[in-house]
Structure 1
Amino acid sequence: MDAEPARWPSLSRLAGVFLAGTLSVQYLPTLPSVGLSTALLVAASAGSMFPRRASWRLAAAFVVAACWAAIHGAVGMERRLPVALEGVDVMVEGRIVDLPAMRGTDASFVLRPDKAWLGDETIDLDGDIRLSWFRAPVVPGACERWRLALRLRRPRGMVNPGGSDAERVALQRGIVAMGYVRDGPRNGVLGYVGVCAACWREHIAGGIEQLVGMDDARLLKALAVGDVRGLTLDDWDIARANGVSHLIAISGFHVGVAAVAGTGFVAALYALFPALALRSARRPVQASAGLAVAGAYSVLAGLGLPTVRTLLMIAVVVLATCARRQAGGASALALALLAVLVVDPLSVLSAGFWLSFSGVGLLMLCLPRAGRGVRAWLTELLRAQLLMTVALLPISLWFFGTASLVGLLSNLVAAPLVSFVVVPLTLAGCLCMAIAAPLAGPLLALAAGAMNAQWWMLEHMATWPGTRISVPGSGVWRVMLATAGAAWLFAPRGLPLRAFGAFAFLPLALPGRDVPESGAFRAWVLDVGQGLAVVVRTAGHTLVYDTGASFASGFDLGMGVVLPSLDALGTRDIDALVVSHGDSDHAGGASSVASRYPDAVRYLGEPSRGAVTGAACEAGHAWEWDGVRFRFIHPGPGDDPGKGNDRSCVLSIEGHSGRLLLTGDIGASVERSLRDVLADERPTVLTVPHHGSRYSSTAGFVDTVSPVIAIASAGWRNRFGHPHASVVARYRDAGSAFHSTAVDGAIELTFPRDAAPDIARRWRQSSRRYWRE
């Protein structure tokens, strides 16, 4: 009897198992060594050749995928800047690999090193470096080679509830160091790289800007070559509020439109010259032309994940066409997924991976084949947009903290207009810049007019209710359950009880919320680097004390950290905003927070400084929320208004069994003046004055307050040396548990009604991942 042939799992099952194996590694706090992972990978690969059962091969595929992802993760971490080189000036020669961005006189860009040295010693820098050049004397250009003196550090980001993970993004994008350019006589441009797609992108972007003007060009450049440097923070805010961010930069659908244009061009050639069919079959030539055009467009787009995924799917169809085989949608998607995971398993760390593959997969699963006629096409379009809005909402909440319900209506109008009008006109205009220059201007002007009309509509829709919904603590199981519920809800006819899929959204829509009881409260000292931001919540009220820094680019940590954290914590409204004083690291994000919550009462330490208005905080002013007393103990009415740091609002928050003291940037003189006021029998938690400066936290102050917990809000490796070693020692000698947001990330504090204050969570420690320092 013949031996039973070996069974191989289906392509879709293999891709699903490979994805599960790759994903399993990303939850590890540490990774196995490269040697161990390599040995396991070889053993699993060899073992997969022998079993007769498909289930054993699937198990082997899971191990192979996990080991392959672990190898990539470990190598990526090993390539990071050595710790010994942090804060040291090094010389680097390399090439600029993206489109440099200018904000005023400051430049930012990514440099890929060719050579690096410290003194006379060559050092190894294997990976990209994200750089800032403050007050750059010249504007760096794409594809240029430079020699620069750099001050570098390992990638490190702020860790907060609802915040983005900069260290994860750095690993996924191959960023091994971050830093800035130091002034030096040896800085200079060395020449140009021979062939570089970024240079073509910059040239095309410049041509668009020259033909239609800077303002009209900002959106067209993003659609043509993925150049988003001209987009403002308001532009991105409008896009997120309408759920159309995927349409601004080049999306996978736009690559598909480019491929269709390529096939259409070949079809027109064959129609004009029928004799071409005698030399080569039309369909393989059409398919190859579509792949070539899509590939060229993807290169100009910067080869982002959505474009790569679409390009791989097109390649599968083209290969099948050339081999005269049929390639179904599920097979093409599975092959594209496998290809992405093999080439770059760390792509699972990006939101684009999940939005891209989940969106296409759900469309294939849930949308029936459209009938003929305009009505059928419109019905399918409406159903597709409804599916994308509902099904991708849980994933958007997981990665971004917010989602848009208005996106359904916005995309119904924006998606067809951008994909079938604006993008084709823009690409045709770019092509005409090379072959028929007089036509380029009118085509781009038409594209700009259509885009501007649409953008005007989106600006108004961004003010509607439902543009920014958030869910506190949307855990991974809630997201998976809601996504599965969406697939069930929109499944083709024949599946029973489809309406019950809506119930899968209930855990996401109605998450549990731990509300403090009367006389108790909670506080979160957020990780805002070298600055301060604190959220305090009682049973029914919320207060924000300080809002982090603002930057020359227009970005501020009120927008980037405080608001996402409030969303993640389930805060619907805040009742009071306290800005301790006017320094940027405390007041920089105040305008963003005030704009979101205009009805909040505002108290300012320096009313004459800053972008928001409000009442001056004065010692003696007090109020009570839910059994918790809030009172200002500084500054007094007669204090010098020009004191700066010493004008900081000092706020005492007193619960039934504990007290939180928020001190801003007060110095030694204010500490001495407050010693009589600060005595309190309740256990005290303290935000360390002035981030732990050696000129604050005097011995008398520390002895008087005697905090059980002292927290310094400071930046990692900040240039001021905060918190100073002598200050840390002083608190620890007094019996205080000392913590710093630079080390712990955001810190959650609990002040129960009948127990001493305690730390409930330290974000960097409790959310350990192998890519975090």
Structure 2
Amino acid sequence: MQSAIVGFILGIAWLQRQSTLPNKPFLFGLGVLAVLLFSLSFLPALIRRYPLANPVLRLAAGTAFGIFWSSLLALHTLAQNLPEPLENKNLVVTGTVSSLPQADDGGVRFQFRTEKAVYQNRRVLIPDNILLSWKDSHAAFIGKRARNVLPGQKWQFNVRLKRPHGPANPDGFDYELWLFEQGIRATGHVNTDVRLPDPNELVDTFVFTPMNAINAIRQKLRERIYRALPDGEYAGVIVALVIGEQKAISRSDWEIFNRTGISHLVAISGLHITLVSGLFAGLVSALWRRSFFTKKQLPLLLPAQKAAAIAGVGMALLYVALAGFGIPARRTLCMIVIVALALWTGRLTRFSHVLLAAAGVVLLFDPLALMKPGFWLSFVAVGTILYATADRTRRLPEKDSRFSRLRHILGSAARTQWAVTIGLVPLTMLFFGRVSLIGPLANALAIPVVSLFVTPLALLGSVLPSPLINLVLTVVHFAIQTLADILEWLGFLPFAVWSAPVPSFYLIIFALAGTLWMLAPKGWPFRGLGLLCWLPLFLSAPAHPGYGEAWITVLDVGQGSAVLVETQKHRLLFDTGPRWSANASAAESVIYPYLKSRGTDRLDTIVVSHGDNDHSGGLLALTGKLPVDEVLSSMPPDSLLVRILPVHRPCLAGQQWEWEGIRFEMLYPASDDYLDDNHKTNNLSCVLKVATPKYAMLLTGDIESGEERELVNRYPDKLKADILLAPHHGSQTSSTWPFLFSVKPRFAVFQTGYLNRYGHPAKRAVDRYGLLDIRTYRTDRDGAIVFEMGNTLESGSCRERQTRYWKTR
């Protein structure tokens, strides 16, 4: 059966690499083939003649079934897609709030289970599960709690929806995959226009379903924690440990937790669920053996081990419910149930088989778990422990002293922690591009504090009556604050983190082989040499242009602009994308992660074309995260951003410099242009030309027709470029005929947000490019665009290179 499970996993893995799903006749054939192959594996005559027939047939049957099953689930989810004609239309929907509301930049964000949708007085079909944002004074907050939107409430909303869509960038977070995994097939916002005929109104205060009841309990627990700790800096961490909601943890705190390698502790993780389940199972086992101190002979009715297994599963189920049945928590629950069943049936013989069975069950219910780092880290961590400790433990003699036993336990824990740390290094580098060097020390400190003290007390305190809840949670908060202070000091030591570009698949395989070598049993020759297999992983350098070459990445930051220019030894960023809210920006979500994946730990120059948020919103976040030698912009000297920046110069026409054979020249604005008081910020956008010996690109910011005319008049022979970043996102007031005739580009890029409210790019502007036979890219349609200017000019888009069946087309 193990070979069938391996095949099942391989089939699912194959499907997740596909751009389209198999059609229904092909899937029907796969289903029949899986049954046929699996049946053949039971034929005695075939097995006797061909001993390998059984595992090979089951492997093939599992692979066919993996493709068949995961395709069926994917087709069911995709069938819920919002019809394209209903995108961005005024709909009236009725349904219930099906998740915990989250604070979202002065509003509230929540999942909504729809019951009815109306468009222009007729019923229409929309997805059952949608994600809504309500930014209105009606969704005001008291402390951390949405005042009016609560789980289980039934509302009528005026909404505008769009199909699932997110930024598509190399090595970036796949928001569309996350939505697909959650079963969310449309996102949108509540329309608060008072002129609409149907008001936004509460229909029912609570609609009972089991999930709504669970979310209502979670909401009450969250309220109690915030009321007990109204000014608690780490109250959000306690909420995360009790109900699994991590939104209230600040980005700065997450950075500390990530740098010290303890982020897995700051949530309802597999470790906490297993620990709480195990502690409760141990308690029930002890009481069951003593028949709960009664005269009943309970162990004669049911062995204590089986009673403990039932209790452990029950407690795990309760804790997972507190987490809102989140996907990572469900994975852990599946593993605990499988182990309990194996123990109950007396088949807990080889734990590796149980581990494989658990992986199969997890993927049966959630095939997309295979795409999540947490799945691989969880199972590899357990597998590493099994591999590193198999046949290497010894039973202590009964006569050993308590000190000897304690020393043995601590030694075993240290060796296990060391094995897990070593075993996860290659995957950590693959998924995150960095590894915490002080992680073992930080975990040795944090695991006992968080798992054995903070988490149990936080769970207990959250249900205690007042004033006990205030007392207990204050103690818990003090423990977290003290731990955070120590972790902050550790996390910012110079050697705390080792970063490197995202490694290739072959480097990971080589490093994993070295890891197995290092963790091999004593007596294995030269185990220390396994460390040499890590060197390519840690010392790998990113690919970079050669002399006289430039690589230009036009990033997908929604409705905004950010362009990275890479030469052989230098990096320039043109614009920094928008800031979406007080806690989120394109710089933190898109630009910085991409720079880290490229192995870029500093920028030589940032050019901010002008001060509008969609171009300058990420500037402070970026300069706070990595060193920047110089910032150029057209922002006025008295602007807040300019006054905060340590190094700033204004863009001035005539500025020139050269890096490794690549020439940079500023064409606009001239010094006199700054003197015109009638200029809008758009009209002062910096215009930069980047030229290799053979090709050139023109970066234009938000200039409009007047500035285009000035450039044509001032530089009739300098505007020629092979690539044009379309001015002002392709607005109606830009991309004029004289300008396009002067630039004569082969490619043009519109940096626009999906269904943006400005209507960019304007149809008339797009038509001009089409009539001139200029190939156009759009970041809302194509994702990030990469140009490589060398001996030839090559281009490609992220969505073209990373097409997957769940992505919106």
Provide the rounded CA distance (Å) in 1 between the counterparts of 2:287 and 2:126.
50
- 2:715 aligned counterpart, secondary structure: helix
Give 2:207's aligned amino acid: V
Does 1:234 find its partner at 2:252? yes
- 2:603 aligned counterpart, secondary structure: coil
After superposition, what is the alpha-carbon deviation per residue over 1:76-121, rounded to whole angstroms, capped at 9, x for unaligned?
2222212122111222222222211123531111112222232343
2:309 to 259, 283, 287: 287
Matches for 1:214-253 after TM superposition, within 5 Å: 214-215=231-232, 216-253=234-271
After superposition, what is the alpha-carbon deviation per residue over 1:528-568, rounded to whole angstroms, capped at 9, x for unaligned?
11111011111111111101100124200011111111112
Provide the residue aligned with 2:166 in structure 1: 157
Give 2:660's aligned amino acid: D
Provide the residue aligned with 1:28 in structure 2: 18
1:618 to 640, 643, 652: 652
The alpha-carbon deviation at position 497 of structure 1 amounts to: 4.3
Is this contact kept in 2: 1:161–1:564, CA < 8 A? no
2:378 to 353, 356, 359: 356
Does 1:200 find its partner at 2:217? yes
Give 2:798's aligned amino acid: W
Provide the residue aligned with 2:366 in structure 1: 344
Is this contact kept in 2: 1:587–1:610, CA < 8 A? no
Give 1:301's aligned amino acid: A
1:414 to 446, 450, 461: 446
TM-score by length of 2: 0.89
Provide the residue aligned with 1:771 in structure 2: 806
The alpha-carbon deviation at position 683 of structure 1 amounts to: 4.4
Does 1:298 find its partner at 2:320? yes
Give 1:303's aligned amino acid: F
The alpha-carbon deviation at position 655 of structure 1 amounts to: 1.9
Which has the higher mean CA deviation after the structures are superposed, 41-50 or 371-380?
371-380
Provide the rounded CA distance (Å) in 2 between the counterparts of 1:528 and 1:304.
28
CA change 1:544–1:104 in 2 (3 A) is closer
CA change 1:681–1:714 in 2 (3 A) is closer
CA change 1:325–1:567 in 2 (3 A) is closer
Give 2:725's aligned amino acid: T
Give 2:664's aligned amino acid: F
Provide the rounded CA distance (Å) in 1 between the counterparts of 2:423 and 2:105.
40
Provide the rounded CA distance (Å) in 2 between the counterparts of 1:623 and 1:387.
51
Provide the rounded CA distance (Å) in 2 between the counterparts of 1:492 and 1:398.
26
The alpha-carbon deviation at position 324 of structure 1 amounts to: 4.8
Provide the rounded CA distance (Å) in 2 between the counterparts of 1:415 and 1:678.
67
Give 2:257's aligned amino acid: A
Matches for 1:12-411 after TM superposition, within 5 Å: 13-51=3-41, 52=43, 53-54=53-54, 55-138=56-139, 139-183=148-192, 184=196, 185-191=198-204, 192-194=206-208, 195=210, 196-215=213-232, 216-267=234-285, 269-270=287-288, 271=290, 273-278=293-298, 280-281=301-302, 282-326=304-348, 328-368=350-390, 370=393, 373-411=405-443
Provide the residue aligned with 1:4 in structure 2: none
Does 1:423 find its partner at 2:455? yes
Does 1:732 find its partner at 2:770? yes
- 1:600 aligned counterpart, secondary structure: strand
Give 2:167's aligned amino acid: M
Provide the rounded CA distance (Å) in 1 between the counterparts of 2:544 and 2:245.
45
Provide the rounded CA distance (Å) in 2 between the counterparts of 1:735 and 1:728.
11
Provide the residue aligned with 1:650 in structure 2: 687
TM-score by length of 1: 0.93
Which has the higher mean CA deviation after the structures are superposed, 520-529 or 681-690?
681-690
Give 1:450's aligned amino acid: A
After superposition, what is the alpha-carbon deviation per residue over 1:711-750, rounded to whole angstroms, capped at 9, x for unaligned?
1111122222212222122223334222222222111112
Give 2:318's aligned amino acid: A
Matches for 1:476-491 after TM superposition, within 5 Å: 476-491=505-520
After superposition, what is the alpha-carbon deviation per residue over 1:332-380, rounded to whole angstroms, capped at 9, x for unaligned?
3222212111122122222222222222222222235555533333333
Provide the rounded CA distance (Å) in 1 between the counterparts of 2:10 and 2:377.
16
Give 2:671's aligned amino acid: P
Instruction: Structure 1: give runs of 5+ residues left out of the alignment.
Output: 1-8
The alpha-carbon deviation at position 327 of structure 1 amounts to: 5.1
Which has the higher mean CA deviation after the structures are superposed, 372-381 or 697-706?
372-381
Is this contact kept in 1: 2:669–2:686, CA < 8 A? yes
Provide the rounded CA distance (Å) in 2 between the counterparts of 1:172 and 1:491.
37
- 2:464 aligned counterpart, secondary structure: helix
Provide the rounded CA distance (Å) in 2 between the counterparts of 1:452 and 1:549.
33
Does 1:714 find its partner at 2:748? no
Provide the residue aligned with 1:5 in structure 2: none
Provide the rounded CA distance (Å) in 1 between the counterparts of 2:727 and 2:464.
62
- 1:109 aligned counterpart, secondary structure: strand
1:672 to 706, 709, 714: 709
- 1:162 aligned counterpart, secondary structure: coil
Give the superposed CA RMSD. Answer: 2.3
Which has the higher mean CA deviation after the structures are superposed, 357-366 or 559-568?
357-366
Provide the rounded CA distance (Å) in 1 between the counterparts of 2:93 and 2:720.
55
The alpha-carbon deviation at position 175 of structure 1 amounts to: 1.2
Does 1:519 find its partner at 2:548? yes
Is this contact kept in 2: 1:538–1:625, CA < 8 A? yes
Is this contact kept in 1: 2:573–2:605, CA < 8 A? yes
Give 1:729's aligned amino acid: D
Is this contact kept in 1: 2:168–2:798, CA < 8 A? yes
Provide the rounded CA distance (Å) in 1 between the counterparts of 2:122 and 2:518.
63
Give 1:190's aligned amino acid: V
The alpha-carbon deviation at position 486 of structure 1 amounts to: 2.2
- 2:158 aligned counterpart, secondary structure: strand
Provide the rounded CA distance (Å) in 1 between the counterparts of 2:352 and 2:137.
50
Which has the higher mean CA deviation after the structures are superposed, 319-328 or 557-566?
319-328
The alpha-carbon deviation at position 286 of structure 1 amounts to: 2.4
Is this contact kept in 2: 1:41–1:64, CA < 8 A? yes
Is this contact kept in 1: 2:19–2:805, CA < 8 A? yes
Does 1:663 find its partner at 2:717? no
Instruction: Structure 2: give runs of 5+ residues left out of the alignment.
Output: 44-52, 140-147, 397-404
Give 1:630's aligned amino acid: F
Which has the higher mean CA deviation after the structures are superposed, 148-157 or 224-233?
224-233
Provide the rounded CA distance (Å) in 2 between the counterparts of 1:494 and 1:18.
36
The alpha-carbon deviation at position 248 of structure 1 amounts to: 0.8
- 1:276 aligned counterpart, secondary structure: coil
The alpha-carbon deviation at position 590 of structure 1 amounts to: 0.8
- 1:48 aligned counterpart, secondary structure: helix
Is this contact kept in 2: 1:156–1:166, CA < 8 A? yes
Is this contact kept in 2: 1:389–1:405, CA < 8 A? no
Is this contact kept in 1: 2:666–2:688, CA < 8 A? yes
Is this contact kept in 1: 2:285–2:307, CA < 8 A? no
CA change 1:468–1:155 in 2 (3 A) is farther
Is this contact kept in 1: 2:7–2:61, CA < 8 A? no
CA change 1:387–1:105 in 2 (3 A) is same
CA change 1:496–1:309 in 2 (3 A) is farther
CA change 1:344–1:514 in 2 (3 A) is closer
Provide the rounded CA distance (Å) in 1 between the counterparts of 2:550 and 2:187.
38
User: Number of paired residues?
Assistant: 757
Which has the higher mean CA deviation after the structures are superposed, 417-426 or 236-245?
236-245
The alpha-carbon deviation at position 26 of structure 1 amounts to: 0.6
Which has the higher mean CA deviation after the structures are superposed, 112-121 or 416-425?
112-121
1:630 to 664, 670, 675: 664
Give 1:700's aligned amino acid: P
The alpha-carbon deviation at position 283 of structure 1 amounts to: 2.9
Which has the higher mean CA deviation after the structures are superposed, 314-323 or 283-292?
314-323
Which has the higher mean CA deviation after the structures are superposed, 197-206 or 208-217?
208-217
Provide the rounded CA distance (Å) in 1 between the counterparts of 2:133 and 2:801.
31
Provide the residue aligned with 2:400 in structure 1: none
